[in-house]
């Protein structure tokens, strides 16, 4: 909307209603949740509201909400899927007002004038983009060398450049030593890798340093389930060390992604049902960050591929060359593909730019099928589309790109 004049569309008196924006997002989430409830009823799945804990491996005690009586549930097989919550850091006391987590941010009906975001991973970058778009002065503090430290180095650098152009302040190689809050705002104490100390002032601080599994109050220790660092330990088919007890999703550790939890659930239940299923291929899990520019990846980064002993061929193609990107004013970013030099197999794919989280699906399929650069290069990609960058990046790895 801010840039609509570039397309010859004039918008006068542009404004926004933060309360309505948040309400709509919650309405969308509630609608999806109600849809899941409908599917439960449709498939004759009994849902019991309450807080469950183990009595034995085959018996649960469920404390009902709002003072409802406790009831017992028996089952030969139990799957723990209690998810995760924001990780707490010593010296950073979350109060839900001045120092918040992503959960609080999703329900906050005002846009702060300034915010310090602690952590430059996916959650931190998504909220940084969101608040900056609506006029907040945003500062990201990240302990590692780049934003999105789990992504390819080239992607992290590109996102940093883009965010700086958007006037987001970025402090990498910097750790947070403490946060003090008052009725007027927060003061965030930080220290750089070189030992330089600084105080950052803002209206709000957002703790976005990751998540930790919800393993408390389940009586897992009572029945002997092995837990390490708030993660339930499981085997190939999500079985714990206790017969009949299984676990899936965020509570078993990374990758902490909704689509991973969903797939783990399907595989676990199919195995329990005795059907022919497959183990989850964790090397082919798409990772997506929903800021602008978007970031998506699958497989090995260039650095990890080399560390694993591969001789690699790397192809990179910028979106700015494409007609669709020019027409859409979506010229930021690139597609980067990593291939095994010996066989040409796709090892990793990394995208930063418009619709990256949609474009990655082609490459997830390609990697799952052990595709080589030739299959990608020889698959005709429609013009004009952003997906042409995928084809061109495959060609670039072998000096066969056409448009650059």
Active site amino acids: 383
Q: Give the angle 386-134-354 at the CA atoms, nearest 5°.
A: 5
Per the structure block, which two tokens stand in for 404?
């650059």
DSSP 6-42: GGT----S----HHHHHHHHHHHHHHHHHHHHHHHHH
* Pairing status of strand 137-141 against strand 114-118: parallel
Q: What are phi and psi of 190, to 5 degrees?
A: -125, 160
Per the structure block, which two tokens stand in for 53?
């804990």
Residue 287: name the closest of 152, 141, 164 by CA. 152
**Are 389 and 315 within 8 A, CB to CB?**
no
Angle at which helices 388-397 and 356-368 cross, to 10°: 50
């Amino acid at each position: 909307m801010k840039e609509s004049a570039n397309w010859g569309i004039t918008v006068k008196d542009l404004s926004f209603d933060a309360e309505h924006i948040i309400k709509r997002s919650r309405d969308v989430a509630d609608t999806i949740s109600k849809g899941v409830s409908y599917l439960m009823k449709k498939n004759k799945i009994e849902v019991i509201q309450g807080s469950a804990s183990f009595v034995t491996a085959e018996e649960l005690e469920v404390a009902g909400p709002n003072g409802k009586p406790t009831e017992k549930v028996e089952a030969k097989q139990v799957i723990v899927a209690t998810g995760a919550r924001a990780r707490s850091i010593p010296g950073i006391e979350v109060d839900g007002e001045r120092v918040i987590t992503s959960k609080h941010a999703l329900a906050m009906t005002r846009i702060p004038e300034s915010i310090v975001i602690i952590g430059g991973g996916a959650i931190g970058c998504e909220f940084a983009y969101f608040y900056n778009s609506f006029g907040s002065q945003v500062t990201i503090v990240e302990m590692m060398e780049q934003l999105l430290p789990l992504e390819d180095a080239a992607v992290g650098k590109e996102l940093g450049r883009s965010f700086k152009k958007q006037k987001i302040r970025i402090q990498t190689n910097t750790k947070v030593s403490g946060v003090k809050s008052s009725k007027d705002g927060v003061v965030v104490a930080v220290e750089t890798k070189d030992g330089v100390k600084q105080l950052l002032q803002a209206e709000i601080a957002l703790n976005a340093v990751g998540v930790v599994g919800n393993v408390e109050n389940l009586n897992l220790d009572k029945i002997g389930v092995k837990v390490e660092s708030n993660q339930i330990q499981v085997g190939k088919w999500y079985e714990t060390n206790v017969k009949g007890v299984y676990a899936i999703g965020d509570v078993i550790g990374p990758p902490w992604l909704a689509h991973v939890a969903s797939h783990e659930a399907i595989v676990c239940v199919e195995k329990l049902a005795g059907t022919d299923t497959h183990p989850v291929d964790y090397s082919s899990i798409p990772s997506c960050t929903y800021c602008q520019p978007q970031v998506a990846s699958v497989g090995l980064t260039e650095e990890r591929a080399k560390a694993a002993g591969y001789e690699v061929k790397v192809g990179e193609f910028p979106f700015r060359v494409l007609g669709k990107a020019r027409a859409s004013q979506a010229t930021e970013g690139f597609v980067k593909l990593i291939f095994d030099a010996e066989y040409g197999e796709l090892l990793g794919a990394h995208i930063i730019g418009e619709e990256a989280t949609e474009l990655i699906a082609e490459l997830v399929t390609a990697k799952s099928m052990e595709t080589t650069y030739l299959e990608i290069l020889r698959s005709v990609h429609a013009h004009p589309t952003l997906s042409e960058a995928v084809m061109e990046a495959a060609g670039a790895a072998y000096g066969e790109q056409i448009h650059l």
